[in-house]
Amino acid sequence: MQTGMHTDTERCVRAVRSKDARFDGWFFTAVLTTGIYCRPSCPVVPPKPGNMTFYPSAAACQQAGFRACKRCRPDTSPGSPEWNRRADLTARAMRLIADGVVDREGVPGLAARLGYSTRQIERQLLAELGAGPLALARAQRAQTARLLIETTPLPMADIAFAAGFSSIRAFNDTVREVYALAPSELRTRAPRSRPAAAAPGTLSLRLPFRTPLNPDNLFGHLAATAVPGVEEWRDGAYRRTLRLPYGHGIVALTPKPDHIACRLTLTDPRDLTVAISRCRRLLDLDADPVAIDDQLRADPLLAPLVDKAPGRRVPRTVDEAEFAVRAVLGQQVSTAAARTHAARLVTAHGDPVDDPEGGLTHLFPSTEALAAVDPQTLAMPRTRRATFTTLVAHLADGLVNPGVESDWAETRARLLDLPGFGPWTADVIAMRALGDPDAFLPTDLGIRRAAAELGLPSTPAALTARAAAWRPWRAYAVQYLWATDDHPINFLPV
């Protein structure tokens, strides 16, 4: 078990006194004299150290009887970077809870996905986070409910079920307990100027992140590799379709100086929590860029790249299976050719969607649909056709699972066992689909070119040895090395 920051009282007190927003989401401050819990950067006058106690999660604060601060809104802080940095049981469980698995499948479903007993999972989460899976999911439901109450005109009954509550009574009781206000009072206190929805089911919200965030490579990569019909760059926003548990959606993500503007259109409001979770994961919004950049900056050859454009994120995905398929389509071809191959599959096998606000036409095909494709219809070399068909068959039957609950090392090993899978394909899937922050691409042509230009070793073995000092953040080093090229992936579209 890993010891969280909340156990270091002296460090937590310093963070609270300095109102250091970098630690928002790492821990929560509960004030004994007021019964309120806050984020470290809360703007109020810090309480005396003797009146503060620290918890690893909002759920633990709520379990201990503390209410959320109305000033700093601790439930809106970025998530802990720990869950995207680690691949242990706790981190995998937290990623699944954020994806709404407990609400949809219960704790037994969570346990089944992880391959542990419910008792083992509850004991592990309680030990590290001060709350079990039900309490953690309940805290997330409360956050989603508050978001819907304050930003939409939806009736309270619709909000209750959209947020994942099983009854209106549970919704009312939870909101009162967490926020010390009835749902109707929360709505009354919310700002009057809510963005008007252009269509039923459309929500506008803000996705917070830890600064700095450099949007150039993040949105540049997504836009440059966008599959026509599924993704597009329009009016300063990256837009794409989403395949979700209860329906589908369309999201538009726009970079702003202090947040990402997120415009979601959902066919079923119950998908809100998972849609937000997947968008945050896509943009790597829970990363701690200061910690990452400080370590990479220690290498004198990387330091100028970091200082020039700090805060680079790893562009990830909203659908891990989709990305794995696209990685195979992109083997040994240009970005344009990979987009063409993917677009053909989308047109032939994707589910159509309506997009009155843009040019999106389809969901990316499901693995089941792709597994049924006649290989002879695929316009690609025979060996890559075999790689494609083997991968989608393994994805469809669950023999390969790159989802948020996956064990990174085990999944990478299974990918390498497939025909046509070399280290580059496995590692790019590890980096962008599995979310491994230490995935590295020493054989990538762009990385080797950047290495030679900077004076780093250019052979894969020597570069890997040099990159050991960048661990566990080698995936971020990849972003800085790629940025030395003038490829469109490195520039925010205009």
Instruction: State how far the Cα of 368 lies from the Cα of 223, in Å rounded to an integer.
Output: 27
What DSSP state is assigned to residue 74? Answer: G
* DSSP H or E segment with residue 301: none
Could you tell me which residues come within 8 angstroms of residue 374 by beta carbon, excluding any fewer than 6 positions away? none
DSSP states of 171-226: HHHHHHHHHSS-HHHHHHHS-S-PPPPSSTTEEEEEE--PSP-BHHHHHHHHHHTP
Instruction: Give me the residue label for tokens 């830890």.
Output: 210
Tell me the two tokens of residue 191: 């700002």
DSSP states of 116-172: S-HHHHHHHHHHHHSS-HHHHHHHHHHHHHHHHHHH----HHHHHHHTT-SSHHHHH
Active-site amino acid positions: 38, 444
* DSSP H or E segment with residue 488: none
Whose CA is closest to 97, among 306, 404, 337? 404
Cis peptide preceding 81, ω within 30 of 0: no
Could you tell me which residues come within 8 angstroms of residue 460 by beta carbon, excluding any fewer than 6 positions away? 442, 443, 448
The residues pairing with 265 across neighbouring beta strands, listed in sequence order, are: 202, 250
Q: Are 233 and 492 in contact (CB under 8 A)?
A: no
Instruction: State how far the Cα of 357 lies from the Cα of 69, in Å rounded to an integer.
Output: 37
Q: Are 477 and 467 in contact (CB under 8 A)?
A: yes
The end-to-end CA distance of the chain, in Å, is 46
How buried is residue 410: exposed, middle or buried, by Cβ count under 10 Å (0-12/13-18/19+)? exposed
For residue 266, the SS3 value is strand
Instruction: Give me the residue label for tokens 């994805």.
Output: 395
